[in-house]
Amino acid sequence: MFSLAKPSKFLASACYSVLLGGMPLLATAESSGHYGYGETASEAQIAGWDIDIRPDGKGLPEGSGTVDEGMKVYETYCSSCHGTFGEGMGRYPKLAGGDGSLADDRPEKTVGSYWPYASTLWDYIHRTMPFFAPQSLTDDQVYALTAYVLNLNYIVEGEFVANKDTLPKVKMPNHDGFTWDDPRPDTRNERCMKNCKDDVTVSDSAAGKNLTPSTTGPLDEGLTE
């Protein structure tokens, strides 16, 4: 029996000579970290899928669009859900307005009042809109819509032309409204076990508010609100 803790000199030297001989018999894919599966992604393949845009403008394509052009595209593809002036419709999001409302009791978070980066607008319109036909707009149409929505929010003038040079320079009103270092845990509850508080009162109950869909039977399709 040989000890696992102390490999014999013979075994150690045998391994050594194998490695020296340039025959990495003991090496596995796991230790070298390379399996070689799949195919190398070509530049053309990457270009077809790489659609993300960063705040510094990285990723923005050639092309451009004006506020006026954007208005026409907006009326065709966007106003039926987002309203003629970006005021929203039902549960479809409002795109404009709400300036200075973020500390209000009922804040309105829109592109103008809340979004910190203009690049996000181009990126999001391009990747997801129109909602029923995502990635169907041309780059020029996306530039035009971006210009139009920024103009709806009084962030750019009517003469603004959106392109890969102008868009990264647009500073959004709420750019400095965010902190990006998570300060949590931000509460310090104590694990009290006995006589933790004097009186307990119920301040509000969901009973009788008639907001809860049915929790039995088939799916509740109705609007209970």
Partner 1 sequence: MFGKLRRLRQDVSRIALEESDRLPSSERRRFLRNGLFTAGGAMVGGVFAGLSTRVGAAETQYPPEVPAWTRSLGAGVVTDPYGMPSPFEKEVIRRNVPWLTAEKTSSVSFSPLQHLRGIITPNGLFFERHHAGRPEVDPQQHRLMIHGLVERPIILSMEDLQRFPSVSQINFIECPANGGMDWRGPQLNSLQFLHGMVSCAEWTGVRLSTLMQEVGIKPEGKWVLAEGADGAAMTRSIPLEKVMDDVIVAYAQNGEALRPEQGYPVRLVVPGWEGNTHVKWLRRLEVGDKPWMQREETSKYTDLLADGTARGFTWVMDAKSVITSPCPEMPLRGKGIYQIEGLAWSGRGKVKAVDVSTDGGRNWQQAGLQEPVMSKSLTRFALEWNWDGSSALIQSRVIDETGYVQPTLGQLKEVRGTNSIYHKNAIQTWKINPDGSVDNVQLG
Residue 44 interacts with partner 1 (CB under 8 A)?
no
C-alpha–C-alpha distance, residues 29 and 68, integer Å: 58
The interface mask with partner 1, positions 74-93, x = CB under 8 A, is -------x--------xxx-
- Provide the token pair at 216: 């039995």
Residue 212 interacts with partner 1 (CB under 8 A)?
yes
In the bound complex, what is the minimum distance in angstroms from residue 55's beta carbon to partner 1? Answer: 5
Among positions 55-74, residues that touch partner 1 (CB under 8 A) are 55-56
In the bound complex, what is the minimum distance in angstroms from residue 154's beta carbon to partner 1? Answer: 18
Neighbour tally for 74: CB within 10 Å: 22
Residue 190 interacts with partner 1 (CB under 8 A)?
yes
In the bound complex, what is the minimum distance in angstroms from residue 15's beta carbon to partner 1? Answer: 24
Q: Which of 50, 75, 159, 165 binds partner 1 (CB under 8 A)?
A: 50
Binding piece for partner 1, criterion CB under 8 A, among 2-10, 14-22, 62-70, 210-218: 210-218
Among positions 112-131, residues that touch partner 1 (CB under 8 A) are 114-117, 119-120, 123-124, 127-128, 131
C-alpha–C-alpha distance, residues 86 and 95, integer Å: 5
218 half-sphere exposure, CB direction, 13 A CA radius: 2
Q: What is the DSSP-derived secondary structure letter of residue 12?
A: H
C-alpha–C-alpha distance, residues 152 and 73, integer Å: 14
- Provide the token pair at 125: 């319109």
**What contacts 88, CB < 8 A, 6 or more positions away?**
82, 94, 95
Give 58-93 as a DSSP string: TT--S-EEEHHHHHHHHHHHTHHHH-TTS--BTTBP
Binding piece for partner 1, criterion CB under 8 A, among 9-17, 47-55, 68-76, 160-168: 47-55
CB contact at 8 A, 71 and 150: no
Among positions 129-148, residues that touch partner 1 (CB under 8 A) are 131, 134-135
In the bound complex, what is the minimum distance in angstroms from residue 73's beta carbon to partner 1? Answer: 19
Q: Which of 10, 20, 26, 180 binds partner 1 (CB under 8 A)?
A: 180
Binding piece for partner 1, criterion CB under 8 A, among 69-77, 146-154, 158-166, 194-202: 194-202
